[in-house]
């Protein structure tokens, strides 16, 4: 059956044929990473929209968990639609931008905005991330500043293609107050571009802020558990009946392991099968946690495992 | 050269200089994501044929009045994280600069004193290179910090302890001839 990722060592088995039905049959739902799994750049992975449609018809839930902090969930909903995926609504999508805003709301406002905390957030990121923070009821530093401006209670580092030394210095100024939180949307060191090149990720910017401030960031995104906690709070998923599907061993597969989910690596994105096999052959206990239970060449390969 | 367009997708299309064989990260108050992008592109293109060098790893540059600005170490860390490789660091506490001095001036370490205000750069380098080390208290380090390292069991912290200290280098004057 579909056992949780908790006990026993994962063995990176190709999922096909009868094995596919055995694993997908009992599953109540699947969590999908987005980039490199559902789409690459502006192109849907062939068969991915059909897979989601077949999941829907089989009565299995599909939820989405992405470390990409560039877009608001509203933008992501439009993106799903534009790339040919039907029926995905914003409430099904858990991005690190959204979850970072929820995290900060909890910590600064005490939950639903009724806490005694106040104060502003210095956001190092684009408009998508800034919008999610605003939508959570938080005020941003640098907007509508007055002479009696509230203290900055958190620095949030996200994907920021307008990152500068000046912003880094500004963040450090705020972080001199030990009460000011340092939060990062995700740990990703780089992201692939469609032509095989790479663009620096939030992880590289967070490293700069941590070094300058002498502080360690609280990281919201995968492989940490917080985004799974958000999913459970909203939808109540059972980890023992849920599969995690992703393309990056160090984030998606480790996330699955950390949350007690069985994991499927898809090879349409960042990680290569050889890397998973190397982790499997390693002596280190930490490496074993990066080995997926299963792999497929593409998520389209999951379709035969579902009822007609 | 100026990068075309406002976004990383554009920057990744800018032509790379075919002659570049090294990325050198120093103090850069104009550091930006765009530059970080270009550095990553050169390092990926060149692989082991493109050096990654950092001038130093200082976390902070102290300013008058007790504030500080981010140091070169932050920028080096950003590039190292994006490229998933380690930079060769020229500055203290690494030995390279001492080796430069030795090759120019025929220094005998056993008859040379290293004078500095920072334990994890000046004193560590001096100790590692077999020099006598002298801490001056006119800079970033307090005596309490030194005592903390001295009392610790950790060998790494012990290597930050200088042989001697003075309140200021002016205190050396009386020891020198008329």
Structure-token pair, residue A161: 């293609």
Residue B62 confidence class, pLDDT cut points 50, 70, 90 = confident
pLDDT at residue A264 greater than cutoff 80? yes
Residue A215 burial (CB < 10 Å; 0-12/13-18/19+)?
middle
Known catalytic residues of A are 33, 35
pLDDT at residue A147 greater than cutoff 60? no
Residue B12 confidence class, pLDDT cut points 50, 70, 90 = confident
Percent of chain A with pLDDT over 90: 88
Percent of chain A with pLDDT over 70: 93
DSSP result, B130-148: T-EEEEETTSS--HHHHHH
- The predicted-structure confidence for B91-102, as pLDDT tens digits, reads as follows 999 999 999 999
Q: Cα(B44)–Cα(A283) distance, rounded to whole angstroms?
A: 29
In the three-class reduction of DSSP (H, G, I as helix; E, B as strand; rest coil), residue A133 is classed as helix
Contacts of B69 in chain A (CB under 8 A): 169, 172
Residues 6+ apart with CB under 8 A from A51: A299, A300, A302, A303
- The answer to whether B31 contacts A205, with C-beta atoms less than 8 Å apart, is no
pLDDT at residue A1 greater than cutoff 60? no
The minimum CA-CA distance between B10 and chain A, rounded to whole Å, is 11
Average pLDDT, chain A: 93
Residues 6+ apart with CB under 8 A from A228: A65, A239, A255, A258, A259
Contacts of A211 in chain B (CB under 8 A): 59, 70-71, 73-74, 77
Query: Residue A222's pLDDT is what?
Result: 98
Q: Is any Cβ of chain A less than 8 angstroms from the Cβ of B68?
A: yes
**Candidates A124, A174, A207, A215, partner chain B, best to mutate (most B CBs within 10 A):** A207
Which of the listed CATH numbers 1.20.1250.20, 3.30.360.10, 3.30.565.10, 3.40.50.1000 matches domain B21-89?
A: 3.40.50.1000
In the three-class reduction of DSSP (H, G, I as helix; E, B as strand; rest coil), residue B175 is classed as helix
Cα nearest neighbour of A166 on chain B: B29
Torsion angle, alpha carbons of B142, B144, B146, B151, to 10: 180
User: Which member of A195, A200, A210 has the closest CB to residue B37?
Assistant: A200
- The answer to whether B9 contacts A193, with C-beta atoms less than 8 Å apart, is yes
Structure-token pair, residue A98: 């959204």
- The predicted-structure confidence for A177-191, as pLDDT tens digits, reads as follows 999 999 999 999 999
Predicted model pTM: 0.93
Q: Is any Cβ of chain A less than 8 angstroms from the Cβ of B36?
A: yes
Query: Residue A5's pLDDT is what?
Result: 47
In the three-class reduction of DSSP (H, G, I as helix; E, B as strand; rest coil), residue A3 is classed as coil
Query: Residue B177's pLDDT is what?
Result: 76
- The answer to whether A200 contacts B70, with C-beta atoms less than 8 Å apart, is no
* CA B159 centroid distance within chain: 17
* CA B85 centroid distance within chain: 17
Q: Is B128 within 8 Å of B93 (Cβ atoms)?
A: yes
> Angle at CA B51, nearest 5°, toward B40 and B114?
115
For residue B109, CA distances in Å to A91, A261, B113, B135 come to 67, 59, 8, 17
The minimum CA-CA distance between B13 and chain A, rounded to whole Å, is 10
Q: Is B113 within 8 Å of B106 (Cβ atoms)?
A: no
Query: Residue B66's pLDDT is what?
Result: 76
Look at domain B109-173 and name its CATH class: alpha beta
Residue owning tokens 């509230």: A150
ipTM of this complex prediction, to 2 decimal places = 0.93
**Domains assigned to chain A:** 13-67+222-305 (3.40.50.1000), 97-219 (3.40.50.1000)
Buried residues in B85-114 as b, exposed as e (16+ CB within 10 A): eebebbbbbbeeebeeeeeeeeeeeeebeb
Q: Is any Cβ of chain A less than 8 angstroms from the Cβ of B71?
A: yes
Structure-token pair, residue A126: 């684009």
- The predicted-structure confidence for A26-58, as pLDDT tens digits, reads as follows 999 999 999 999 999 999 999 999 999 999 999
Residue A2 confidence class, pLDDT cut points 50, 70, 90 = very low
Beta strands B22-25 and B132-136: pairing type? unpaired
Cα nearest neighbour of A190 on chain B: B82
CATH 3.40.50.1000 in chain B is located at: 21-89, 109-173
User: Which member of A165, A205, A209 has the closest CB to residue B29?
Assistant: A165
- The answer to whether A172 contacts B69, with C-beta atoms less than 8 Å apart, is yes
- The answer to whether B8 contacts A199, with C-beta atoms less than 8 Å apart, is yes
Q: Is A68 within 8 Å of A129 (Cβ atoms)?
A: no
Percent of chain B with pLDDT over 70: 97
DSSP result, B25-68: E---TT-BHHHHHHHHHHHHHHGGGSEEEES---SEEE-GGG-E
């Amino acid at each position: 059956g579909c056992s949780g990722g908790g006990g026993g060592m994962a063995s990176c088995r190709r999922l096909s044929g009868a094995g596919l039905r055995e694993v997908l049959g009992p599953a109540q739902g699947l969590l999908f990473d987005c980039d490199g799994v559902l789409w690459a750049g502006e192109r849907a992975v062939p068969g991915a929209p059909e897979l989601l449609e077949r999941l829907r018809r089989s009565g299995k839930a599909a939820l989405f968990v992405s470390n990409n902090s560039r877009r608001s969930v509203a933008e992501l909903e439009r993106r799903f639609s534009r790339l040919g995926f039907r029926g995905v609504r914003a409430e099904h999508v858990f991005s690190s931008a959204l979850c970072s805003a929820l995290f900060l709301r909890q910590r600064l406002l005490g939950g639903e905005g009724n806490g005694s905390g106040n104060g502003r957030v210095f956001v190092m990121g684009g408009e998508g991330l800034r919008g999610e923070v605003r939508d959570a009821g938080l005020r941003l530093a640098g907007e509508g500043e007055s002479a009696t401006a509230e203290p900055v209670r958190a620095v949030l580092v996200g994907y920021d293609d307008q990152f500068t030394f000046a912003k880094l210095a500004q963040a450090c100024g705020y972080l001199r107050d030990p009460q000011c939180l340092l939060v990062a949307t995700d740990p990703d060191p780089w992201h692939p571009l469609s032509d095989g090149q790479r663009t620096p990720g939030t992880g590289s910017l967070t490293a700069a802020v941590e070094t300058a401030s002498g502080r360690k960031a609280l990281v919201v995104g995968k492989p940490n558990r917080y985004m799974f906690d958000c999913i459970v709070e909203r939808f109540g998923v059972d980890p023992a009946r849920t599969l995690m599907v992703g393309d990056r061993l160090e984030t998606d597969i480790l996330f699955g392991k950390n949350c007690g989910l069985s994991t499927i690596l898809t090879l349409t994105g960042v990680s290569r099968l050889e890397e998973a096999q190397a982790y499997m052959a390693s002596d280190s206990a930490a490496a074993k946690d990066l080995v997926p239970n299963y792999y497929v060449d593409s998520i389209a390969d999951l379709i035969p495992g579902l009822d007609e | 050269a100026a990068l075309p367009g406002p976004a990383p997708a554009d920057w990744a299309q800018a032509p790379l200089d075919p002659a570049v064989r090294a990325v050198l990260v120093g103090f850069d108050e104009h550091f930006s994501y765009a530059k970080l992008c270009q550095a990553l592109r050169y390092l990926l293109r060149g692989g082991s044929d493109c050096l990654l060098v950092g001038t130093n790893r200082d976390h902070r540059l102290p300013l008058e009045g007790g504030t500080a600005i981010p140091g070169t170490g932050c920028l080096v860390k950003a590039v190292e994280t994006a490229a998933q490789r380690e930079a060769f660091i020229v500055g203290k506490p690494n030995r390279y600069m001492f080796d430069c001095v030795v090759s120019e001036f025929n220094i005998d370490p056993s008859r040379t004193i290293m004078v500095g205000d920072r334990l994890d750069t000046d004193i560590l380098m001096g100790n590692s290179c077999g020099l006598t080390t002298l801490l001056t208290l006119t800079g970033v380090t307090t005596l309490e910090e030194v005592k903390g390292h001295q009392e610790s069991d950790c060998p790494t912290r012990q290597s930050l302890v200088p042989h001697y200290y003075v309140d200021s280098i002016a205190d050396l004057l009386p020891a020198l001839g008329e």
